[in-house]
Amino acid sequence: MTSPVTLTVVDVGGTHVRSASWSPSEGLGDTLVQPSPSRLRNPGTAVAELKERLISTLCDVVPRSPGAVAGISFGAALDHRTGTVYGSAPLFGDDTTPLDLRGALRARRPDVRWHVVNDVTAALLHFAAAPHRSTYRKVLLMTISSGIACRTVDLRTGAIATDGSGLQGEVGHLPATARLAGAPVELRCDCGRPGHVSSYASGPGLRRMADVLMRRVPERWEPSRLGAEMAAGGSFESALATALDAADPLARELLDASTEPVADLLRTALCLDPELDELTLSGGVATGLGDHYRTSVLGHLRRQGLYLTGELAPAWLPDRITVCAPGEANGLIGAGIAALGLPTAGAAPGGTPAPAGPAGSGGSGGTHPALVREGDAVHVRRRPTPLPGPGEIVVAPEVAGVCGTDLQILRGLRDDGAPVLGHEGVARIVAVGPGVDDPRLTPGALVVVNPTHPTDPSFLLGHNVDGMLQARMLVPASAVRGGLVVALDAVPPGALPALVEPLAVVRYASLALGPHVPDTLLVVGDGTVGHLAVRTARRWLGDTVRTVHVHHTGEGLEWSRQAPYGADHRVGRAGLETGELDDVLRRRRVAVLIATPAPATLPSLELALRATEGSEVAVDLVGGLRRPAHSDRFPGVDLSEVRAANCGGMPVPPVVARLTASDGRPVTVLGHRGVANEHLEYAAAELCHDPERYADLVTHEMDFAGAARTLTALARGETRVVDGRRLVKLAVRTAGT
């Protein structure tokens, strides 16, 4: 899904750190290039100091602005699921102490939503996004630069498979041999070990191979075009390119010796996976030498190709080998694609080509159906089923709810990146990764997943992490560690699990408004939360509280009039504006709960304050707010900051703002994003205790196919009428789908 957000994208290599702004619609902004704080550039500096400098560099390039997002393309062997860096010879030499890069960045700049992918992954994501590759099955990209690695993506699903450590394609450290001037060569890799592919084929390896050739055959070196260009003071890279252009035999011999290990890798890859429709070579060495590099590689493959295939279909192998043109595999753009979770060109739409949140997949356990959004439509797609890595849990959602926020995302009113929505419902644990030691979190346990992490903004279920509208869902380690997987003692019957999270929101709001001791509750908004607030008011705010329910449409007002439980006073917005309930709302202690979509929150606040003039008022901004959010009623106050002060049930007690309105009236204002686990547990128990009081609010219940059609229709129109009935809560049954 294309996003209007402009991100900061960064590409970290052994020699340079490049950064820019990027958006799918506007492209890359001006690129800032600065030296990389790496072992390659600073050979005498301690690794700990290099890592500290690198983290500071990354934090400094991201502007301090609300909602900042950064996509990092990082030149290192790293866990594809978590962003933990295992090692990078150009950056850190032979040091392999794990670095929780994403965690370190979040600790330093918690205001930024960080996404970290390997640099080869980022390059591949950009390369594979080209429309002409939409019919390909698989693409492999190998980078030949200061290091060597490759990645393979299945364009039918968007999956980049990894091993149990979250790695794939670290081919630069596989064993290799090389010969120059008729004799073997043994060189050390930048990781400190001898005889690796990178020892001979990386940029530094190729330069060291040239030094060996110069020492071994000085009588050939000095008169060669390569030797002459070097003697004239040219850089090695430009001297080699010039010599190859001039068909210098020594330069060709050097390049052929360096590319032989690369050709071996490509031959093996095609032998093991004939579904690879393109194997492309990128990076400074391959792209810089262009056709010379491809010709050298193909020469090896012609001399020793695939058994039988080389004879039966001689063009089959070379037709698949390409060299990236400059800019065709841009790690900066790929980092942005990963951060937004955009699909590759050939992926089954909605496929996740790289981690778009705090976790990816530690492997595949087959496929499962999911409701995947593609623009303003929703389709049932099969997605790779994840296997849990360390600290992770895989769950099978049983009933998932669709809320107003989901509809806002579908209608393009929010820029959340997860292709699979859904943050309400109950799931069953199907697999637990190593290191999950809570005895209640075992396969078969029924749980609710708290969708909002109180301290980690990168986990927001169904917003920046794939949600519950799928048959299997991975809960990342950060959420499991944070205690967000909550085992339930009892599960509400039927489709009522879809109401657990919205009822928990109302529980939190009632506890927050309770100290105001209101005699009247004014609820603005006739969605699920508004109706739940009305039905619980006397239970949670006192049995003498009167309720006033404000509706946005005549259809909503009519539905409430026919419902078995309703407010003491039901009114449309127009009626409230004309003073229809002045005698009920003025000169009293009024609690106001605003449960509206984000665009309507500030107008609803203004309406509520006008209707309660002369009353002592406490307002809970349950509905969303766009940043910044300013009201003429409270000059100089950003209400979005007031709302954001409480997140995931923290702090306790909640932060409450005591504001003075423009008319001089004191007004208590608070808000909250998400709830605490105890609110979810209480809500589940309440639904179990009195299911009949809430059952009619689940107006529609569907399977995946029906939900896909309904959500597409809702995304393309403003109506809330489905199958001739007003939609309040849609429950999607995912179990057994």
Residue 4: the pLDDT is 43
Asked whether the predicted pLDDT for residue 433 surpasses 50, the reply is yes
- Of 471, 336, 464, nearest to 405 by C-alpha is 464
Band (735; pLDDT cuts 50, 70, 90) = low
Residue 639: the pLDDT is 95
- Percentage with pLDDT > 90 across the chain: 72
User: In this structure, are 124 and 269 located in the same domain?
Assistant: no
Q: Could you give the dihedral angle defined by the CA atoms of residues 25, 31, 32 and 34, in that order, rounded to the nearest 10 degrees? A: 120
Q: How far is CA 576 from CA 315, 519, 551, in A?
A: 76, 18, 10
Q: Could you give the dihedral angle defined by the CA atoms of residues 149, 154, 155 and 156, in that order, rounded to the nearest 10 degrees? A: 180
User: In this structure, are 506 and 483 located in the same domain?
Assistant: no
**Tell me, what CATH number does 251's domain have?**
3.30.420.40
Q: How far is CA 650 from CA 104, 357, 452, 653, 655, in A?
A: 22, 22, 11, 8, 9
User: In this structure, are 306 and 259 located in the same domain?
Assistant: yes
Residue 729: inside a domain: no
Residue 700: inside a domain: no
User: In this structure, are 529 and 668 located in the same domain?
Assistant: yes
Q: How confident is the model over 268-325, as pLDDT tens digits?
A: 999 999 999 999 999 999 999 999 999 999 999 999 888 888 888 888 888 899 999 8
- Percentage with pLDDT > 70 across the chain: 95
What is the mean pLDDT of the segment spanning 196-200?
97
User: In this structure, are 470 and 439 located in the same domain?
Assistant: yes
Residue 307: the pLDDT is 87
What is the mean pLDDT of the segment spanning 228-233?
93
| Cis peptide bond prior to 653, omega within 30° of 0 | yes
Residue 391: inside a domain: yes
What residues have CB less than 8 Å from 545, skipping those under 6 apart? 518, 519, 520, 521, 537, 538
Give the span between the Cα atoms of 433 and 430, in whole angstroms.
Answer: 10
Band (349; pLDDT cuts 50, 70, 90) = very low
102 and 126 in contact (C-beta within 8 Å)? no
Render the burial of 612-623: b for 16+ CB within 10 Å, e for the rest: beebbbbbbbbb
Report the DSSP pairing between strands 698-702 and 729-733.
parallel
Residue 707: inside a domain: no
User: In this structure, are 185 and 305 located in the same domain?
Assistant: yes
pTM assigned to the model: 0.56
Cβ neighbours around 515 below 10 Å, total: 11
Chain Cα centroid distance, residue 82: 11
Asked whether the predicted pLDDT for residue 359 surpasses 80, the reply is no
Residue 305: inside a domain: yes
**Residue 638 exposed, middle or buried by CB count within 10 Å (0-12, 13-18, 19+):** middle
| Phi and psi at residue 415, to the nearest 5° | -110, 25
Lowest-pLDDT range of 108-112, 569-573, 718-722:
718-722
Q: Domain residues for 183?
A: 141-323
- Of 541, 539, 551, 543, nearest to 521 by C-alpha is 541
Q: How confident is the model over 473-504, as pLDDT tens digits?
A: 999 999 999 999 999 989 999 999 999 999 99
Q: How confident is the model over 528-576, as pLDDT tens digits?
A: 999 999 999 999 999 999 999 999 999 999 999 999 999 999 999 999 9
Asked whether the predicted pLDDT for residue 341 surpasses 90, the reply is no
Q: Which helix (H) or strand (E) holds 101?
A: helix 101-108
Task: Render 75-100 in DSSP notation, one character per residue.
Answer: -SEE-TTT-EEEE-HHHHTT----EE
User: In this structure, are 275 and 336 located in the same domain?
Assistant: no
Residue 364: the pLDDT is 45
Lowest-pLDDT range of 34-38, 199-203, 206-210, 622-626:
622-626
Domain count, the chain: 4
What is the mean pLDDT of the segment spanning 340-364?
40
**SS3 per residue for 539-607:** HHHCCCCEEEEEECCHHHHHHHHHCCCCCCEEEEHHHHHCCCCHHHHCCCEEEEEECCCHHHHHHHHHH
Lowest-pLDDT range of 123-137, 397-411, 434-448, 522-536:
123-137
Residue 275: inside a domain: yes
Chain Cα centroid distance, residue 292: 38
**Tell me, what CATH number does 656's domain have?**
3.40.50.720
- Of 256, 244, 254, 190, nearest to 216 by C-alpha is 254
What is the mean pLDDT of the segment spanning 234-253?
94
Asked whether the predicted pLDDT for residue 356 surpasses 60, the reply is no
What is the mean pLDDT of the segment spanning 375-390?
87
Dihedral sign from CA coordinates of 365, 370, 374, 379 = positive
Q: Which helix (H) or strand (E) holds 114?
A: strand 113-118
What is the mean pLDDT of the segment spanning 169-176?
94
Domain boundary among 453, 487, 521: 487
Mean pLDDT for the chain? Answer: 90
Residue 118's DSSP bridge partners are: 74
User: In this structure, are 93 and 109 located in the same domain?
Assistant: yes
User: In this structure, are 204 and 115 located in the same domain?
Assistant: no
Token reading at 76: 């290192």
Domain boundary among 464, 487, 510: 487
Residue 216: the pLDDT is 96
User: In this structure, are 293 and 161 located in the same domain?
Assistant: yes
Residue 355: the pLDDT is 33
Residue 363: the pLDDT is 39
Residue 732: inside a domain: no
User: In this structure, are 153 and 284 located in the same domain?
Assistant: yes
Residue 545: the pLDDT is 97
Q: How confident is the model over 453-474, as pLDDT tens digits?
A: 999 988 999 999 999 999 999 9
Token reading at 355: 């981690």
Domain boundary among 420, 454, 487: 487
Give the span between the Cα atoms of 157 and 216, in whole angstroms.
Answer: 50
Token reading at 63: 């502007």
| Phi and psi at residue 310, to the nearest 5° | -60, -25
Lowest-pLDDT range of 66-80, 268-282, 630-644:
66-80
Asked whether the predicted pLDDT for residue 345 surpasses 80, the reply is no
146 and 14 in contact (C-beta within 8 Å)? yes
Q: How confident is the model over 121-163, as pLDDT tens digits?
A: 999 999 998 878 878 899 999 999 988 999 999 888 778 888 8
Residue 160: the pLDDT is 86
Residue 492: inside a domain: no
User: In this structure, are 335 and 280 located in the same domain?
Assistant: no
Asked whether the predicted pLDDT for residue 203 surpasses 90, the reply is yes
